[in-house]
Amino acid sequence: WMVTILSLSLLALIGTGIYLEIRPLNPNRNTQNRWKAVVGANLLLFVGAQVGLLVLGMHDAMAEAAAVNAGGAREISVGLGLSLIGIGIPTALATIGAGIAVGPVGAASLAVISEKPELFGRTLIYLGLAEGIAIYGLVVTIKIG
């Protein structure tokens, strides 16, 4: 039942984000407080379900032995699944951060290059520093895995 709560709260968060993207809030009306409460409740439910899943599923994850099928492949247990999610989180967050950084840096680089082409090398270094965030996340994932 904890997985069901987690899935439903995640779907509610995604649905709220899509709805707010399609129909942005009207600044003239006082609806920001209501939406803050809705998103806050969804986040609280999601985080609570995830913590509950980790706490309640920790016993199962520790107690399960690595099962090997007849073909020699390992069966994915709760513990292995949680570890794979934990391994993927640094790469996911690092690539999101790099995407957020590369957008403005790239736009500013193009603006500077159009005015002063001799600054191309310097702007390329800034763009590489912003992209390096994703590489750091990938390195951390490789080290964890």
- Write down the pLDDT at residue 61: 54
- CATH number of the structural domain 76-145: 1.20.20.10
Report percent pLDDT > 70 for the chain. Answer: 73
Indicate the pTM of the whole model.
0.48
Can you tell me the distance from the alpha carbon of 105 to that of 120, in angstroms, rounded to the nearest whole number?
Answer: 13
| pLDDT above 70 for 116 | yes
Q: What would the pLDDT profile of 60-70 be if each residue is shown by its tens digit?
A: 655 555 555 55
Residue by residue, DSSP assigns the chain as: -HHHHHHHHHHHHHHHHHHHHHSPPPTTSS-HHHHHHHHHHHHHHHHHHHHHHHHHHHHHHHH----B-TTSPBPP-HHHHHHHHHHHHHHHHHHHHHHHHHHHHHHHHHHHHHH-GGGHHHHHHHHHHHHHHHHHHHHHHHHH-
The string of pLDDT tens digits covering residues 15-43 is 877 777 777 766 666 666 677 777 777 77
Cα–Cα distance between 34 and 16 in angstroms, integer?
12
